[in-house]
Structure 1
Amino acid sequence: MKKGALPLNEKLPAEPELMIFYGVGRSSIREAIKILSQSGFVSVQQGLGTFVISRSGNDELSNKLQEADFAEVYQVRKVLEFEIIAKACQFRTAKDITLLRERVAERGLYAQEGELRKCIHSDIAYHTLIAESCGNSILAQLYKTLSVYVEKFFDDVYTDTIPFIDSQDLHIELIDQIEAQDAEKAVEVVRKIIGNL
């Protein structure tokens, strides 16, 4: 990426091509793309593919985040969350709502089964989907970058899935408000979710 082998806005080859080219399995390719996305080099666009968005990534931001304490990271995440929710109410599509309902159901299932790691991952993915539906790729990318550190914090702090069970209904209600395009109520639900952490 940094050497400019792929120009900006270039679409990456499909997973099967990358698997053959690099001689690795699908999971390795997906993990590499996830890292590139979280580092700000590529943007994964559902149904369209993965595109190069930067040659420098967000190394400076990542370095700052690694040095920050969680309270700072979480404060920025909250500020982003409120703006993202309001915009998601405006720009969400029917497909976004369907994907959110699938993800929240997965989150609930893992929570009920006590699968903490999977539950945390699904929770982060759920909130990331909302960010992706907000109609602002920069907000979405910032949120994704912060979420890497939030997920690490959740891994360290939570010992069981009870907090995720307790907040499941709020996560479902949030989708309902986004679907209804009621930004005021959606933001209120997010305040309650944040209060449960």
Structure 2
Amino acid sequence: MALKAAGRTSLVDSAVEQLRTQLTDGEWAVGDRIPTEHELAQQLGVGRNTVREAVRVLVHAGLLESRQGNGTFVRSTADPAAVLRGVRHAGAADVLELRIALEAEAARLAAARRDADDLRRLRDALTTLREEGDRDADADLAFHLALVGATHNAAFVEVYRFFSAQVHEVLVEALGDRAMPPVDIDAHEALVAAVESGDQDAAEREARELLRVPMEAVTALTEQAE
């Protein structure tokens, strides 16, 4: 399929979108080497610098991979940007339900698989969370990433890392002028204790309890809007 010539405005953005479309439509398969900068520039009707910048954007997005001396190859045809748009357009309650499902299973796996290093990281993250205050989003995220890391499941870690940053944005937008519910330090401590004990049922229960307060806040807001 031939690429359409880009217009004069937003040349890089136009090139990015057209290349992204080619990737998601299956024009090139995972592992394929895409055409050279010169070939793409001719197909798009833009300069090579524009193509170079567009490719750089798609490399950063995880769709392409540059291999020095060999060219640029397709790394993925699944567009993360489309997933992000879907998450942002989902309701806050839907997003929280997904987060609860992920973290409940993460807690079960962590309780079964955690080692001494995992427990140390969880305790360190808990200490930082306690010291930084109950509204520090970065410290809270670090704690939950440590929990997911204790699953020793690389796919789980990558999915959660990708998803978690969007959760906070969705909740902040949903709550508007309302403050985010404070982080429940006691609930975090109970979760760590359950993981440390190796009790998978207790770990899942504590993970669900930890997210109960933000879910209640979002539910109350939804009911008021109806």
TM-score category by the smaller chain? Answer: 0.5 to 0.7
Deviations 1:62-87 (A, max 9, x none): 23212222222111111111111111
Q: TM-score, normalised by structure 2?
A: 0.55
Aligned mates of 1:189, 1:62 — CA distance in 2: 28
Q: TM-score, normalised by structure 1?
A: 0.63
Give 1:65's match in structure 2, choosing from 87, 90, 99.
Answer: 87
Give 1:152's match in structure 2, choosing from 166, 169, 188.
Answer: 169
CA gap 1:194/1:148 in 2 versus in 1, 3 angstroms: same
CA gap 1:111/1:68 in 2 versus in 1, 3 angstroms: same
SS of 2:152's equivalent in the other structure is coil
Give 1:98's match in structure 2, choosing from 120, 139, 143.
Answer: 120
Output the amino acid matched with 1:137: A
CA gap 1:184/1:141 in 2 versus in 1, 3 angstroms: same
- The aligned counterpart of 2:182 is 163
- The aligned counterpart of 1:128 is 145
CA drift at 1:99 = 0.9
Deviations 1:120-171 (A, max 9, x none): 11111111111111122222222222211122245554637x722xx11121
- The aligned counterpart of 2:193 is 176
- The aligned counterpart of 1:190 is 207
CA gap 1:153/1:64 in 2 versus in 1, 3 angstroms: closer
Runs of 4+ residues over 6 Å off in structure 1: none
CA drift at 1:193 = 1.0
- What count of residue pairs does the alignment treat as equivalent? 143
Aligned mates of 1:123, 1:153 — CA distance in 2: 16
SS of 1:196's equivalent in the other structure is helix
Aligned mates of 2:111, 2:154 — CA distance in 1: 15
Output the amino acid matched with 1:163: P
CA gap 1:40/1:70 in 2 versus in 1, 3 angstroms: farther
Q: Which runs of 5+ in 1 are unaligned?
A: 8-35, 42-53
Aligned mates of 2:117, 2:62 — CA distance in 1: 25
Larger relative contact order, structure 1 or 2 (CA cutoff 8 Å, min sep 6): 1
Is 1:141 the counterpart of 2:158? The answer is yes
Is 1:111 the counterpart of 2:130? The answer is no
RMSD (Å) for aligned C-alpha atoms? 2.6
